Structure 1
């Protein structure tokens, strides 16, 4: 092996390792690999960026623009509502969704088509009571199969067409790949729709079973002279961190504060809304001298209906406005019930790479981040 061959192999291995590590963005790693080849003398400096002018690269860039336009215009949502059957069984629904993914990926980026149809796939899985994987994996296969049917459907087709032109022959036309690609795509879609989705392993969604979100919220009163009185919420949350508990709300003078500021001082008589595991609840309360609100609540008068307040249930709804400080006065009024939701960060979201502190999730939006699930 020559020195140049050793250098290129070393750069390739380092690039693959960086891709697998995932610490930096893939485009930054690729640009770094190109720069390393230039510095090592493997690629001439004058031709280092010649590849960006290749027709395949420009075409892929145009396809990405088209994908973004379809995403922002809502055209895919309209198409999905008209194409996908509303009351069909799992087989027909999965086959139709896979075919739609193949159709879109024939004229746009595969990843873009997949990202657009993923919410539709999740909704289909819920309505048909199917594991998400049995709908998402056929959709992924469909986006791959559809890319084979046209010239712009997948970058390899464009690259082959470019090399064919360099040999002196004409480039491939838009639908020259269709006779073979369409036959393969149809066969693949039929197989996935009839048999393939049944072969996908069933995996329970992490935390879906045995995690009742309403069973982990409780109200705890801060007695006068307790350890929590006079501390800030930040200090209280630091003390609760060992038990995995978190303060998600505060009630003072019958006014409920959702996502209170960490710098707010806690006074005797306040009621803290705490999210915690049932097993760790007792430890969390005793460590700060807190008492369950149910034990402190006075008996209702005879002419008043009793309030249903139970430990581990969601907080009762009322018409009070959630107010923390002057910054929260402009927020719209909403019921006081604390709602727990699971939200997905989509590819290309402005939230990617930013922390909850960076976007002021609690102070600006009144949202408590309880947990993050990544890679299942």
Structure 2
């Protein structure tokens, strides 16, 4: 089979694109857009074919699932199960990984794995810091477990949805919700067992240093009262996990009017104790949401369940001419005048050891506040403050909205599994309910969507159209068929699978799946077998990307938090990728040929 101009032109662009991706010379979206433009200029595809990916069913479904997953994460529904999953201290790594990875894979089967990993990263880091474990032993397995779980259902990964959309575009019947479970579940179980009993031994033991509070950090002081809801009453500071907190330090306890300072590790925490912490803003915001540690009772807000879409975090610097100067927080009537709650106070060069209400305010004091979203506009030009800045805000929602997000999630699954609505329609209905109930407002919905991922997916579908229209798909399919032909269908299937698997090492898995799909379809047609099995092989191969940090988005997400190096992924990921590939090929062959 000879190559004409269109084939050579398209092949040349694909080779150039792959080289630029390997050496990370150009941003991915810029590179894909440039390749699309060159394909248009070469008249390989039409304008409609180049940008048809933006109306692809799979791509649109991914956008809607980002919103639903974001609502589950922002309302705290996912975070509530984390302490139950990770268990207690002094548990063997193998047991902890089993406890972690099976639930993570189950959750990832129904929620896009990117937000699942994003939710668990801070939870695992906090747990490892509390118990002095190395996060490097847990974060790569977290990513891999989420990837494996995503291969069990239609909505588990964006790759599944891309292939689902392409199958429909090519005139095939779309995937059933649990169609790939017969392949994904056995593969997931074996992958988790490998990581739990062998894989973690191949990972480094790198512990993250604690953030040291000192002269180079801004220390805010917060006072919290111990109530009956606190689960660690009667335990020592050490056993309660309050001794080695990242970015926080418990420096004083006030008990019945008596100050205990410094607060020693063996000091017990009793009911009605007032705990004085110093720390950075983000960790203080997380600390005050712990059940049983109460900031204040008579505030305008429910500080445990406020809506972060309406209530924001601000840092304000008290000015020299402010009416607050010389008054205590209690006497200033701060909450009534400013409709805001002081969570913590920073004073340069001094660690304040008084109750928040008894602190006399001075010029230059920085107040960490919770206030309505209009606080900035109302007080920005006021002489009461030198400066007002929006601080880092942690996602927070009232508990009932968490139940709404959970209800929407299960409604979407039921409507899809029961064939009442297509997945796209069910997800769209779910997003409408979330917005109408203000569980996720329009702004939050836009922020939870990873627009970069969607743009890359849509443009990669355009490049895939060029691979098909130029005839290059048929040529490459013919080469792959010749490579595996001596082993029959199994050989061709294995060639397609491992060709895809290798390509995901240098390009994102969604782009690889989109570009290689037409080649797989052509290969199946060339040997006169069902195209469905080859489509699923592409989907599994593109998802099962473990050997490099750039091969899958969740791998890249854990790279810095785990302190990993490139070779760490290669050590555990390469054998896992090969093993998963062999098992998946055998299962696909048994079920589809």
Counterpart in the other structure of 1:64: 66
Q: CA deviation at 1:156?
A: 3.6
Find 1:100's aligned residue among 100, 103, 116: 103
Distance across 2 between alignment mates of 1:212 and 1:66:
37
Deviation at 1:9?
A: 2.7
Whether contact under 8 Å (1:149, 1:182) holds in the other structure is: yes
Correspondence for 1:334 among 327, 330, 345: 345
Distance 1:23 1:162, change over 3 A: closer
Alpha-carbon contact 1:151-1:175 (below 8 Å) kept:
yes
Residue 8 of structure 1 contacts residue 37 of structure 1 at CA under 8 Å; is this kept in 2?
no
- 180, 183, 189: which one aligns with 2:186: 183
Q: Structure 1 residue 127 and structure 2 residue 130: aligned?
A: yes
Give 1:148's match in structure 2, choosing from 146, 151, 162: 151
Q: Matches of 2:25 and 2:106 in 1, distance apart? A: 31
Deviation at 1:193, TM superposition (A): 2.0
Counterpart for residue 113 of structure 1: 116
Question: Distance in 1 between the 2:167 and 2:48 partners?
Answer: 25
Residue deviations 1:214-238, cap 9 Å, x none? 4xx4xxxxxxxxxxxxxxxxxxxxx
Are the equivalent residues in 2 in contact too, given 1:11–1:36 (CA < 8 A)? Answer: no
Please tell me whether the aligned partners of residues 133 and 207 of structure 2 are also in contact (alpha carbons under 8 angstroms): no
Match of 2:52 in 1: 50
Deviation at 1:17, TM superposition (A): 2.6
Q: Distance in 2 between matches of 1:189 and 1:53?
A: 36
Structure 2 partner of 1:202: 205
Is this contact kept in 1: 2:136–2:207, CA < 8 A?
Answer: no
Aligned partner of 2:80 in structure 1 is 78
> What does the per-residue CA deviation read over 1:272-294, in whole Å, with 9 as the maximum and x for residues that have no partner?
xxxxxxxxxxxxxxxxxxxxxxx
| Matched-pair contact (CA < 8 Å) for 1:93–1:124 | no
TM-score calculated relative to the size of structure 2: 0.36
Listed as ranges, the matches of 1:224-239 within 5 Å are none
* Alpha-carbon contact 1:102-1:147 (below 8 Å) kept: yes
Displacement of 1:92 in angstroms is 2.4
Secondary structure (helix, strand or coil) at the match of 2:82 reads: helix
Partner of residue 503, structure 2: none
1:152-183 CA-partner distances (Å, limit 9, x unpaired): 21234334444555666533210111122111
CA contact (8 A) 2:89 2:131 kept: no
1:269-321 CA distance string (max 9 Å, x none)? xxxxxxxxxxxxxxxxxxxxxxxxxxxxxxxxxxxxxxxxxxxxxxxx9xxx9
Deviation readout 1:301-353 (Å, 9 max, x if unpaired): xxxxxxxxxxxxxxxx9xxx9756568979957253578xxxxxxxxxxxxxx
SS in 2 for 1:334: strand
SS in 2 for 1:122: helix
Query: Using a 3 Å threshold, how does the CA distance of structure 1 residues 86 and 41 change in structure 2: closer, same or farther?
Result: same
Work out which structure has the larger RCO, using CA pairs closer than 8 Å and 6 or more positions apart in sequence. Answer: 2
How many pairs were matched up? Answer: 247
Residue 9, structure 1, aligned to residue 12, structure 2: yes
Any gaps of 5 or more consecutive residues in structure 2? 219-277, 279-315, 326-337, 352-385, 392-558, 564-593
| 8 Å contact from structure 1 (residues 11, 37) kept in 2 | no
TM-score by length of 1: 0.53
Shift of 1:106: 1.1
Distance 1:366 1:173, change over 3 A: closer
Does the Cα contact within 8 Å between 2:112 and 2:158 map onto a contact in 1? no
Q: Is the alpha carbon distance of 1:30 and 1:169 closer, same or farther for their aligned partners in structure 2, counting shifts above 3 Å? A: closer
- 1:189 Cα deviation from its structure 2 partner: 1.4
Counterparts in 2 of 1:326 and 1:122: CA distance versus 1, 3 Å: farther
Shift of 1:132: 1.2
When the two chains are superposed, the root-mean-square deviation of aligned CA atoms in Å is 4.2
SS of 2:138's partner is: helix
Name the CA distance, whole Å, in 1 between partners of 2:198 and 2:148.
16
Gaps of 5+ in 1: 218-245, 250-316, 340-361, 368-373
Q: Say if 1:92 and 1:193, in contact at 8 Å, map to a contact too.
A: yes
Residue correspondence of structure 1 range 13-28 to structure 2 within 5 A:
13-14=16-17, 17=20, 21=24, 24=27, 26-28=28-30
- 1:10, distance to aligned residue in structure 2 (A): 3.3
- Residues 240-289 of structure 1, C-alpha deviation per residue, up to 9 Å, x if partnerless? xxxxxx8x79xxxxxxxxxxxxxxxxxxxxxxxxxxxxxxxxxxxxxxxx
Report the Cα distance in structure 1 between the residues aligned to 2:345 and 2:162, rounded to whole angstroms: 55
Residue 37 of structure 2 corresponds to residue 35 of structure 1? yes
Q: How many angstroms apart in 2 are the aligned matches of 1:64 and 1:51?
A: 18
What's the offset of the Cα at 1:12?
5.7
Rounded to whole Å, the distance in 2 between the matches of 1:162 and 1:104 is 23
Deviation at residue 191 of structure 1 after TM alignment: 2.2
